[in-house]
Amino acid sequence: MENIDTEIKKVWMITGTSSGFGRRTAEEALERGHYVIATCRDPKDIEDLNEKYSDRVITLPLDVTDPESIKNAVEKGVERHHRIDILMNNAGYGVGGAIEETSDEEARKQFDVNVFGLLNVTQEVLPHMRERNEGLIINLSSMLGLTSIGGMGIYGSTKFAVEGISEALADEVKNLGLKLMLVEPGAFDTGFAESMMMVDKQIEDYKPIRETLEGGIEFNGDPDRAATAIVAAATCDTPPARLILGEDAIAGVNEKLHYLHENIDEWEQVSRAMAKGDDKDVRPLVPADRS
């Protein structure tokens, strides 16, 4: 990895900088001498960044669910720095609750922020990056974007959507000089647990799931170390396509990969026997204990 102290300083635009990974990454980037367009719904929450890094930070209001707010923030950021080198889509929140318990309104609000908000900000910044044929987009996903768990199905599904959008976008812009990095953290001590919104409806059968969410998950990851890793990875010569952060994330993803390999191997004969015109009966191919 290159020496970060000698690198060209970048202009970062980060959403959701009032707390969590957004806040820590903004501080780390500023400490490293980069420039930051720090955005959140209420800039009063990040006034201290202006006081400490006034020469290298601009704090702006940005609500990822408001297209006009996004447009204004991007325009002001570009007007100040003439470019955006790195966009970090960090704004988001979590909804906890079983699938059956989650209302349509609760699910749609979760998608509005975590998916459509990310999509809208990205679409507003992309023209500026394409014009220069240079830029990196960092999308904050989660280990739950790769392997979901009970009680976090709606939140996890938004991160699965972020994964799909990111993989496609990376393919679309790879010949335009642009890169994309997914950040997939495990359980970090960012205040996520305290700010998670539990669904209103509660069904007794799902009480054990709810109890696990409310006290059974250990948030041991250090967000400051995560921010250091994100900035280092984003500013090295070849940013990774995926940055998985945390022992729990590595364990969870490896468990999912093992399950997928087992499932594929067990059902491979059935999966391959799908060609048109093949007159062989598929049923005998089903594993003996499943028929």
Task: Please state whether 24 falls in left (phi above 0), alpha (psi between -120 and 50) or beta.
Answer: alpha
DSSP characters over 117-178: IHHHHHHHHHHHHHHHT-EEEEEE--GGGTS--TT-HHHHHHHHHHHHHHHHHHHHHTTTTE
Q: How far is 223 from 72, CA to CA, in rounded Å? A: 30
User: Among this protein's residues, is 159 annotated catalytic?
Assistant: yes
User: Among this protein's residues, is 141 annotated catalytic?
Assistant: yes
Active-site residue, from 141, 142, 157, 166? 141
Residues 6 or more apart in contact with residue 274 via CB below 8 angstroms: none
Active-site residue, from 35, 53, 155, 206? 155
Residue that is written with structure tokens 């890793």 in the block: 229
Residue that is written with structure tokens 């003996």 in the block: 288
Active-site residue, from 53, 159, 166, 179? 159
The residue among 104, 103, 100 whose CA lies nearest residue 200 is 103
Residues belonging to the active site: 141, 155, 159
